[in-house]
Structure 1
């Protein structure tokens, strides 16, 4: 800790500023741990600090630090203009919400392009045209870490950007991709990561495949794979990663895994989800646990256990229970509050059980599921912890919209928009009928339920009807084109 000596001048006690007496290199190093806005604000401390921020080798430009996007855009433009051009950054991060002006995006890209000789870490998260930034990314041959999330422009555009095939970053070890669609080559295979020979950490966030059903992930050095998925796409992931030992997943599990690399995975973290409009539970979640035979450390959320409980006769399948979790050493359960979609799905799926057996879920952990996971590893350590809805183990993933309307507008990449919208309308109408049947039974006291829960369910019904009306209007507009 830096000590401050005090001295009196004309009767006033003064504090001696030892921090400002430090060499520039140390002050620059200290400021490099701050986001760029906070670093720039130090210029008002004294004349000594006025220009220090211009020499910081890290640039972290994040819109969340600003009250308006306009003020953020102005700040970015001024910072890039006023920095010392002789300083080559080793870390550059740019994150902006909403559709970005092409001229600003090009200015950011041109800055990276002209200052990338020593760039090691690059992060760009925008809603814009990837062609504006692709040249600067392709030229960064020193990059070891790349976080790239590029969504198509448009207020209601929830599509994905085609992943560029021209990236050949040989030094890359960490790759985080968001909102991309991977396209098959001439042979029908999708293998977008084959050029990254040193890759050891891969994050695939809200990405999908196009014109094929198999995504190939091949890497001799890949150690960690993280996925987040909230779409309705179903495809197979073919893994060829003999060093893979950690797998994390958040979202709705649709993808099936295939490959001998599954046997090397020892650390697994799953936060599974399920939407109320999904007529069948995602059975693939159970196949993951069966196909990963050597799991030693398993972390699951309460919602993951609830999704597993939807599998028909899961507790009666002796063949299944004999194959699960034979190497488990530790099991951690995170008691996160369930999402609205999963809570409603529970009420709908368990309707028949409640009618027949007065069944009412009383715990975030469904009966029997925890015992099933521990059946073949009774000596495993079990840790059950309370936590918030925001899981800190997925902090590296940007916040995902909880809007139900946004989640409904996630069509399959191989499906016509009109067909997708019609399918969603039918889902919503089916859910609405189930809710109405359920509320009638509660109202007539055929089943007993808390008044607050009934009010919540009716609110869901109103919300679903509104969403259905919006989608039907979109269909009419499409038909009129």
Structure 2
């Protein structure tokens, strides 16, 4: 080698040629790979023998379908990770998609590892056009869950939830394309009353079963509630949420028949974006929102309010 030329060193090596990155403690290395998806974490195990089994100790797992060429490879990878991880280390956070015709089988693979999970995000995607119902009751009776996101990616397929969710530690709940049902001989669904710690609730494209007519959002701890509506099913929503501070409704079809059993005196911020709304619904909304501090309304809602005011003036 010519004099004056320096030997190229790997980015992982120090001036003395040592691989300082691999010399770090396992806890530090695990903390580093915690910020990447699981697919990448497993791949970097090929860097050296020192990294070979680190991914098996991960407490957070994140799987993304887009990282694989096809669904078959993705499903095999998820099954491989769960069958080879260190089961003596509890799993705390799981974020994954269950795709294709074997989506339910993949859920069965994951189920035994969920006892200690505190944060769970599941996105279900089934290619069949037929209506079907998933049955995953283990999610809805967990004493450890603090955050749950459950999304059915195809609106044609509906997840029928249990009549009551028994999740005492749950603080954040996001549900997309699910169905609620009342108990036998009743028409009112009340799924959230046993979620005693629930602070934030988001419902997107949710519906009611055939015999159910009313959805009761009954929870004394709930502070934030957002509802987005995409289907044409009409049903009543009754709020029993005395500590509600933030409330949002977004719909391009119309507004549900909405009422409240509480005065909602703590309301700070309300956002209502509705394309069509009836006079009676406007009047109820105005009564409900009398204490709100910041109010954002869509053009259609403002026009409906003006029509109500105009009618009141000329009828008096």
Task: Give the drift of 1:90.
Answer: 0.8
Give 1:288 shift. Answer: 6.9
> For 1:240-319, what aligned pairs fall within 5 Å after superposition?
240-252=240-252, 253-259=254-260, 260-272=262-274, 274=275, 281-283=276-278, 286-287=282-283, 290=286, 291-299=288-296, 304-305=298-299, 307-308=300-301, 311=304, 314=307, 317=310
Aligned CA RMSD, in angstroms, stands at 3.0
Contact 2:103 2:124 in 1 (8 A): no
Q: Deviations over 1:350-407 (max 9, x none)?
A: xxxxxxxxxxxxxxxxxxxxxxxxxxxxxxxxxxxxxxxxxxxxxxxxxxxxxxxxxx
**1:177-256 correspondence runs (5 A):** 177-185=175-183, 186-210=185-209, 211-252=211-252, 253-256=254-257
Q: In structure 1, the residue corresponding to 2:191 is in which secondary structure? A: coil
Which of 27, 30, 38 pairs up with 1:28? 30
Aligned equivalent of 1:126: 124
How far does residue 63 in structure 1 lie from its aligned partner after superposition? 1.7
CA displacement at 1:165 relative to structure 2: 2.6
**TM-score, normalised relative to structure 1:** 0.54
Structure 1 residues 148 and 85, CA, compared in 2 at 3 Å: closer, same or farther? same
CA contact (8 A) 1:59 1:92 kept: yes
CA distance in 1, matches of 2:27, 2:272: 43
Aligned residue-pair number: 292
- Aligned partners of 2:96 and 2:121 also within 8 Å: yes
Q: Structure 1 residues 309, 67: CA separation in 2 closer, same or farther (over 3 Å shift)?
A: farther
Give the CA deviation at 1:197.
1.5
1:41/1:100 CA distance change after superposition, 3 Å: same
Quote the offset at 1:101 in angstroms. 4.0
**TM-score, normalised to structure 2's length?**
0.80
1:136-181 per-residue CA deviation (whole Å, 9 max, x = no partner) reads: 3245321111222357xxx8x7142321136422222222222222
Deviations 1:201-247 (A, max 9, x none): 11112111232332111111100111111011122211111110011
Structure 1 residues 86-165: aligned runs within 5 Å: 86-112=88-114, 116=115, 118-127=116-125, 129-131=133-135, 133-134=136-137, 136-138=138-140, 140-150=142-152, 158-165=156-163
Cα distance 1:288–1:41, how it changes in 2: closer, same or farther (>3 A)? farther
Partner of 1:130, secondary structure, is coil
What is aligned with 2:62?
60
Could you say what secondary structure the match of 2:109 adopts?
helix
Question: 1:100 touches 1:127 (CA, 8 Å); kept in 2?
Answer: no
Task: State the 1:192 CA deviation.
Answer: 1.1
8 A Cα contact 2:30 2:54, kept in partner? yes
Q: Deviations over 1:38-72 (max 9, x none)?
A: 32232233332222221111011222333322221
Alignment check: 8 A CA contact 1:100 1:126 kept: no
Which consecutive unaligned segments of at least 5 residues does structure 1 have? Answer: 1-7, 275-280, 321-481
Deviations 1:173-192 (A, max 9, x none): 22222222211223332111
| Mapping of residues 310-459 of structure 1, within 5 Å | 311=304, 314=307, 317=310
Aligned equivalents of 2:68 and 2:152: distance in 1? 21
Confirm or deny: 8 A CA contact 1:244 1:264 kept in the other structure.
yes
